[in-house]
Each structure stands twice: as C-alpha cells, then as structure tokens.
A and B are shown apart, each in its own frame.
Chain A
Amino acid sequence: MAVAAAASKADGQLDRRALGRALSRIANTSVEEALDGMRETAGGASRIGITGPPGAGKSTLIGRLARQRLDSGAAVAVVAIDPTSPHTHGAILGDRIRMDGVADDPRLFIRSLASRGANDGLADNIADVLATLDGYPFDEVILETVGVGQAEYAVRALVDTLVLVLIPESGDQVQAMKAGTLEMADIYVVNKADLPGAERIASEIRAVARLRRRLTSDWEPPVIMTAADRPDDIAALHDAISRHLAFARASRNIDEVRRLRREYHVKSLLMRTVTDILAENPRAVDCSPREAFELVVARLRERRR
C-alpha cells in the first residue's frame, strides 16, 4: 500500500488517473491491510479542516475559498465527505455540486468520499487517504467533514487548521457545543451573515473564543462573518486561514502532532473492527455486558492470529 511512485507524469503534470485510482484503493482498504501499510504523516501538504452542522455552507465556502487559494498560487486538493446510509450503505456525494464556479476549474482536484462505517464525521481510512495525498504535489488539502453536531471533532487530530462554520440558526447549538466541537476550532465562521441573527451568534462565539485564549494558547480564534456571495468576506476567511497555518507551523510540536494522528488512526481501525465484530455476531449482546465485552475481546484476538 505504498504511495504511488508515479505522482506525476513525465511532463510534471499531475497524473489524475493514477491519483484517482490510488485513492480508491486506499479508501477500500481493509483494517488488516491498513495495519500493515500504516504511515506516519505531518510534513506533507498543509491541511485545512472545514466542519460544522449540516447545510451550514461548508461546500459553498470551500468552493470560493479554493478559487482564492488557487489564485494565490497554491496547488489545492479538496476531500469532501458525505454520510453513508447505515441502512442501504448508499450515499449521495453532493458536496462537489455545491462547489460551483470552481468545480470545473482544472487546477483543482476534488475527491468525494462516503463516510461508510465511520460515525465521527470522517470516513473509513481517511488518515491513509490524507497520507496518500501527501505523496502528490499539493500545497494544501481542504477537508470537508460530514455535517456534524456537538461532539464529532475527530477531524481535529488530522488537520493543521480547523474552521468551524456555524449559521445564524445555530444559536442554541452554541450553548450545546461549548464542551465539544466549539472548543476545538482555530477559526469560527458565522456563514449566511446575509440572514438575520448573525451578529448575535457571533458575539456569543467571541465570548467562547476569548475564554479559550485565556485558558490555553497564544492564538485567539477569530470570528468571521461571511455571506458566500461577498468576496470581501471570503478574502477575510482566506487571510485568517493563511495566518493560522503560519502560526501552526511555527508553534506546533511535530512529534505531538504525529502522535495525535497515530492515535486517531489506531483508534479508528479498532472502532471499525469492533463494529464489524458486533455486526457479525448480532447475538453477542444477548448476555451480560461483561460477557459481551469478553466475547468481543476474544474475537479481536482471533483476528490478529
């Protein structure tokens, strides 16, 4: 499962066919194969995570943002995740169509993924997908999570800069998110600022941001109000991302970043295995919790032999 050697064609052009296929192979990797191929990352492309509730405008903003970052000279890839139905296993991968305006720009590489078994806002094998992109000549990868609620912030471990997109209607969510996703972001966006209520939610978030600054770091997360159609707002977001990427590069402890990414990777493979085991043994939980637990642990051991 090594990174494809032929990252680009002889003429230096990105080999999109090879990259497209490499990403499918990685996305379809079993846990067993993934364990053997596990790679360390950090040091490849800068990673920008865009998360937030369903319909907040993540894809629309990414479309505008990608255009701006391409124009500033960066080679950009977008990875966008949409939810898989747990019942049919099907998915409509609808993020690309929202990235209008830039989706037909041949400079941009967009890959849509279904979450499949993952229920943390990401997709199965996402760590390896991102690691694979590190083997290709991208300066930046923008990762769109599934529309999330209060607690799906696994993306934090995988990106350098995390942008949380909220909307005026998210008012009540800000309260609920205080102990979860809200604490994780580096940049807050109140999108759909053309709708009423944006200023009120922005000031609530500013209060959270100030508190965070006091508690933890040298970075005070900016709160940016955007309407996707206002170029100045997109420019402000673009600048904030550039500033945070520079800050993260200068201040992060690379060993710690690697450790967190490895931890996410191992945890997600374990979760997937446990989910599979429970699906294969639907009667496993018909006993006491302790017995069910022991059964799963035993099955886990068997798999490793």
Chain B
Amino acid sequence: MSTLKGKRILIAKPGLDGHDIGAKIIALALRDAGAEVIYTGLRKTPGFIARVAVDEDVDAVGLSLLSGSHKELVAETMQELRSLDASDIPVFVGGTIPAEDRAALTEAGVIGIFTAEMRLDDVVAEVARVLVPVRAA
C-alpha cells in the first residue's frame, strides 16, 4: 500500500489513438498505490506531453499506445523532452507493443514496457521498483 506515495506520474496518450481504457485503468491503479496521477486525455502531441511533464515536474511519464505507431511517437516524445532539458524524466510505455519492438524502445531510452498480458499488481510493483529508491534497512 502507498508504495508510490508522493510520486507524481503523467499518463499520456500521444497521437491519434482513441483507446483509453488501458490508460485509465493504469491511472487508477497507480493512484491506488499512492501516486498523484495526471492524465492528459486523448490525442495529444509529443510536444504537448513533454511540456505538461515539465510544467508539472512529474517523476515519470507513462505513454499508452495502442495504435501501432509506438516507435515513432516514443521517439518524438523523447526528443521533445530532451529539447526541454527534461531527458532525465523516466518514460514508461504500455499498450499493444509486439515483442519484436521491445528492444528498439528500450534502445530509445524507455525504462519499462507493459502489455495487457501482465498482471496489474506486477505493473505497479515494477513502476515502484524503478521510481522509489530502496531504502537501506
């Protein structure tokens, strides 16, 4: 419970993709784990998403992509973040990501890729593992 307390996370939908069920489920799951979640709504440009990430100074951006255009949109969003001096903000990706594309996304700097086969608890636990530094006991 509350493993993500105080963490601010932006869930964003880049491009023309109108599938928002997964993004909303993830937003609620992260909230229930203690995070403060901002959701952009559908059909946002990479430039807009990067600007919101900067203004809100989030601890992570989660892109939800079910359109098939994930490689292009992830690359553009990373580029926009760099141009705003915010390449240090970690980026997660979720949605319909075929196994053969995972390496390319990881290469581009994405630090976690999540698909519908994964259990929600495991998704949240993995996000927490990356965002919350383990405290020395």
Q: Would you mind naming 6 contact pairs between A and B with Cβ atoms under 8 Å apart? A: A17-B85, A20-B54, A90-B33, A90-B35, A93-B56, A112-B56
- B75 → chain A closest CB, angstroms: 21
* Central interface residue in B31, B32, B35, B40, by most chain A CB within 10 Å: B31
Min C-beta distance of B136 to chain A, whole Å: 21
- Asked if A111 and B34 sit within 8 Å, CB to CB, the answer is no
Q: How does the 8 Å CB contact mask read for A1-25 relative to B, with 1 for contact and 0 for none?
A: 0000000000000001101110110
| Cross-chain contact B27 with A92 (CB below 8 angstroms) | yes
CA distance A94 to B38 in the complex (A): 6
When distances are taken between beta carbons in the complex, the residues of chain B under 8 Å from A85 are: 31
Interface contact B34-A89, CB-CB below 8 Å: yes
Determine if B1 is an interface residue (Cβ-Cβ < 8 Å). Answer: yes
CB neighbours of B69 from chain A (8 A): none
B16-59 contact mask (Cβ, 8 Å, vs A): 1 or 0: 00000000000110111111111111001000100110111100
Q: At the interface with chain A, which of B2-10, B95-103, B115-123, B127-135?
A: B2-10
Chain A residues packing against B (C-beta within 8 Å): 16-17, 19-21, 23-24, 28, 84-85, 88-94, 96-97, 100, 103-104, 106, 109-112, 114
Q: 4 tightest CB-CB pairs across the interface, nearest first?
A: A20-B57, A90-B31, A24-B57, A89-B5
For the residues of A in contact with B, the DSSP-based class is: mixed
Cβ of A36 to closest chain B Cβ, rounded Å: 21
Q: Is the CB of A97 within 8 A of B39?
A: yes
Contact status of A106 and B51, CB under 8 A, knowing A17-B86, A92-B37, A112-B38: yes
Cβ B34 vs Cβ A90 within 8 A: yes
Q: Which residues of the other chain, B, contact A93 by a CB distance below 8 angstroms? A: 36-38, 56
Contact of B39 among A20, A92, A111 (CB under 8 A): A92
Inter-subunit contact A20/B2 (CB<8 Å): no
Q: Of A28, A96, A104, A106, which one neighbours B38 at CB under 8 angstroms?
A: A96
> Is B34 in contact with A88, judged by CB distance below 8 angstroms?
yes
- State which of A16, A91, A92, A94 has its C-beta within 8 Å of the C-beta of B55: A16
B38: which A residues are within 8 A, CB to CB? 93, 96, 112
Which chain A residues lie closer than 8 Å to B57 at the CB level? Answer: 20-21, 23-24
Say whether B41 contacts A92, CB under 8 Å. Answer: no
Cβ of B111 under 8 Å from chain A? no
Among candidates A84, A89, A90, A96, residue contacting B52 with C-beta atoms closer than 8 Å: A96
